[in-house]
Structure 1
């Protein structure tokens, strides 16, 4: 579904990284790979750091198992050329250890770039759709909304707020919209079937997508 995968995901090399138990942050070319202990908010923080550095996420994939989480992002060119992976890797380490005021910094960036951003417009169709048929082990949530500064961070921040575990993710930018699908489980490791819980997830996503930092 995404070019970042290039085939099976995780591949053999990525499974080795998961099994080794080490913390890995590696940027090469247009691809960033992060392997860490599986905690709510990890995917969101990595996405936020990429946005902070003007790296447009064109495709991404996530996988978690046995308490470990793998995230792979493919990004486009940033202003001035290729991503500064050294800077990005350092900021990811700081963000994941609670030493980077990520939301505040994204807010500053959002305000800086607001004059050139397109005005918000309604997304076609329902902004959040729920699929409990595709997967036997996770609920698939598809979010469609206009692209903008930190939008992937915002969506996944909403999931972290509700302690959802992102098992897999597929991120696409289609023109000026993002269409992102997330395979998620609740804090007990189960699919989400309760209507009230699903309504709270949708409320949280809509709030975070619209938030003005």
Structure 2
């Protein structure tokens, strides 16, 4: 049994999920839209950043509300934009933005876990039967659920939606899932918010430090 095989099996299993396929499609469309905007108007992204900065400074509560709603919707998909979002939010709002995104992460993760856990157990078992290595990983994950859940939250390349779906597919209990999420889910948002906050002292859009 190898970790590489287990990860490959889990990714293949997740790829069979309709929600994951829809999220991947939305992500690709978003990238295409950003590329098109950049080609049509190279300053569009920069101007958008400066406008967001103005709104955040004049209406902080509105900015926090936008961050909460956007992060909540983002974490319901597999679009890998959470890190970029919190870097931007940290730049605009400071380290407190990490706490706001953590709240969004917990709420969305709870929904995805519940949706995943409502799958037909027999159907899930049949899917795992096709992946012997992954089935063994699943058995071990059930026994150390809180540690697996926490570990998934600390891996930078694992989107929140994937971590939640993996936890439900692996049979981690609701209690262990929430303990792991609450214990480690705040680390990445807060850390990246601090990094983004440091960007306030760097030149932006050619106008100097903000």
Is the shorter-chain TM-score for this pair beyond 0.5, marking a shared fold? no
Give the strand-richer structure, 1 or 2.
1
Question: What TM-score do you get using the length of structure 1 for normalisation?
Answer: 0.29
The one of the two structures with greater contact order (alpha-carbon pairs below 8 A, sep at least 6) is 2
| Structure number with larger C-alpha Rg | 2
Question: What TM-score do you get using the length of structure 2 for normalisation?
Answer: 0.30
